Amino acid sequence: LAKTTQPISMDSYEGQEVNITCSHNNIATNDYITWYQQFPSQGPRFIIQGYKTKVTNEVASLFIPADRKSSTLSLPRVSLSDTAVYYCLVGRLIPRDDKIIFGKGTRLHILP
Amino acid sequence: EPEVTQTPSHQVTQMGQEVILRCVPISNHLYFYWYRQILGQKVEFLVSFYNNEISEKSEIFDDQFSVERPDGSNFTLKIRSTKLEDSAMYFCASRSQDRASTNEKLFFGSGTQLSVL
């Protein structure tokens, strides 16, 4: 399993763009990158997933450089409700790895 | 959006007692998971389940733990003899895609808070 490293915590202000970078230096060819969000006392919620380059959905963007040794989750114009823990996961693409491991995540705190 | 349902939301038990945590995964999903989260700590993988058998388990998932899909809708986690350190939030999750798919999207329930006294 590729090990991931994220900042323990980050602060930002409402209306700002927030970028959370995850390092995964030993990512394998068959690995993909997934981000989850967790609010207190709730289960994690899928945000976005990608393999390379850029992926965008209605919630976030995911930037993955060519070497894939890191990835950046970008949250546009955050609000107070984006305060949560954000997890970066790296897992095998094919065949699917059923042991899906969460790291310690990044605790994002949005200030008014 | 379809949901994973967990019951009860809170469970209090005495040390040494058996508990069963219940989950109803999303109906067309094929893969099922249990995770736990001790207060203030990370989400820990316990076990994954597919085609009526365990596909992966962690070192936490010892002989005191078992999982079962007793019918077509429920997925349960049993702890045979609870210990104080089993106190945690337990999350059930499910996923629909087959092994060849690139979609790893897990859907989590809202959890069962287990308190062992």
pLDDT tens for A36-95 read 999 998 999 999 999 998 999 999 999 999 999 999 999 999 999 999 999 999 988 666
Neighbours of B26 (CB within 10 A): 17
A101 is a domain residue: yes
Q: Band of the pLDDT at B55, cuts 50, 70, 90? A: very high
Return the pLDDT at B2.
81
CA–CA gap between residue B98 and residue A95 (Å, rounded): 9
Residues of chain B that touch chain A, judged by Cβ-Cβ distance less than 8 Å: 4, 31, 33, 35, 42-45, 48, 50, 55-56, 58, 89, 91, 93, 97, 99-111, 113
A86 is a domain residue: yes
Question: Which DSSP letter does residue A25 get?
Answer: T
Strand partners, B67: B77
Q: Which domain holds residue A22?
A: 9-111
CA–CA gap between residue A2 and residue A96 (Å, rounded): 14
Verify whether the Cβ–Cβ distance B42 to A104 is below 8 Å.
yes
Q: B73 CA to chain A: closest CA distance, Å?
A: 20
The CATH number linked to A52 is 2.60.40.10
Return the pLDDT at B113.
97
Q: Which CATH class is domain B5-112?
A: mainly beta
Return the pLDDT at B72.
78
Return the pLDDT at A1.
63
Q: Which residues of B touch A55 (CB under 8 A)?
A: none
CA–CA gap between residue B34 and residue A82 (Å, rounded): 26
Confidence check: pLDDT of B25 > 80: yes
User: Minimal CA–CA distance to B34: which of B90, B79, B72, B88?
Assistant: B90
Confidence check: pLDDT of B108 > 80: yes
User: Minimal CA–CA distance to B10: which of B66, B88, B65, B62?
Assistant: B88
- Domain boundaries in chain B? 5-112
Please report the beta strands in B38-117, taking only residues with DSSP state E, as ranges in sequence order.
Answer: 44-50, 53-57, 65-68, 75-79, 88-95, 107-108, 112-116
| B16, burial (CB in 10 Å: exposed 0-12, middle 13-18, buried 19+) | exposed
